[in-house]
Amino acid sequence: MTQCTHMAPVDRIFSIFQQHGHRHYGENVSELEHALQTAEFAKQSGESDTIVLSCLLHDYGHMLHDLGEEIAQHGVDARHEVIGARLLQDLFPEVILEPIRQHVAAKRYLCWKIPTYAQELSESSRLSLQLQGGPMNDAEAQNFETNPHFAACLKVRRYDDMGKVPGMQTADLESYRGPINRFLLESP
Ligand SMILES: [Fe+2]
């Protein structure tokens, strides 16, 4: 992993996508394509920039562990949602970080809430679900509903589930430079 501290934060983030975004996401799209598609669906649905940026960055941690591609198929849960949120924690406000941190929890919650949800998940999402603890239990779900960013967490999860379309046209990474710079906690 290369994170040059002399680079502007937005360039550090983009360099991670450029170095690792080619990794196979697991559904015939790369990590970069998956990130751009997830953000694109949020944008097309008229979501706020904070939701769009959470979508863009929700799998940032996937690109920054060294456990290889498609690790779920090898029975490993890298806790990529926690890794990603931690790496971004000094850069962005909680309104962006929490849906990143909770996007696996949101999947587990939706499996509890909507009986058919798990069937709609992609194959690799269903596979990783088991490693991530399976559907929430009642107590976990009720606790998750009290999260101040609960609604945003569910939205990001829904766009995450959509962003797996081979060959889909999207805006490019550079188009997010302005929105990222607007929400950075430190000046670029
Ligand atoms: Fe994702």
What lies within 8 Å, CB to CB, of 181 at 6+ separation is 10, 188
Nearest-Å Rg of the Cα atoms of the chain is 16
- For residue 50, the CA-to-ligand 1 centroid distance in Å is 16
The pLDDT confidence band at residue 23, using thresholds 50, 70 and 90, is confident
Q: What is the pLDDT of residue 128?
A: 86
CA of 22 to the centre of ligand 1 (A): 14
Measure 186 CA to ligand 1 centroid, in angstroms.
26
Cα–Cα nearest to 55, from 175, 183, 163: 163
- In angstroms, how far is the first alpha carbon of the chain from the final one? 21
CA of 182 to the centre of ligand 1 (A): 23
As a three-state string, the secondary structure of the chain is CCCCCCCCHHHHHHHHHHHHCCCECCCCCEHHHHHHHHHHHHHHCCCCHHHHHHHHHCCHHHHCCCCCCCHHHHCCCCCHHHHHHHHHCCCCCHHHHHHHHCHHHHHHHHHHHCCCHHHHCCHHHHHHHHHCCCCCCHHHHHHHCCCCCHHHHHHHHHHHHHCCCCCCCCCCHHHHHHHHHHHCCCCC
- Over residues 11-22, the pLDDT tens digits come to 999 999 999 999
Q: What is the 60 CA–ligand 1 centroid distance (Å)?
A: 9
CA 114 to ligand 1 center in whole angstroms? 19
> CB-hemisphere CA count at 13 Å for 128?
23
Q: What is the mean pLDDT of residues 29-46?
A: 97
- Residue 6 CA, ligand 1 centroid: distance in Å: 29
Q: Domains in the chain and their CATH numbers?
A: 23-183 (1.10.3210.10)
Residue 178 CA, ligand 1 centroid: distance in Å: 22
Q: How far apart are CA 163 and CA 25, in angstroms?
A: 11
pLDDT, tens digit (0-9, with 9 covering 90-100), for 44-98 = 999 999 999 999 999 999 888 765 555 555 555 668 899 999 999 999 999 999 9
Q: Can you tell me the mean pLDDT for 145-167?
A: 97
How many other CB atoms sit within 10 Å of the CB of residue 99?
Answer: 32
pLDDT tens for 88-143 read 999 999 999 999 999 999 999 999 999 899 999 988 888 889 888 999 999 999 99
The CA distance from 114 to 32, in Å, is 29
Cα angle 79-83-86, degrees, rounded to a multiple of 5: 140
Q: Which amino acid is at 150?
A: F
Distance 163 CA to ligand 1 centre (A): 7
Averaged pLDDT of the chain: 90
Spacing, Cα 146 to ligand 1 middle (Å): 23
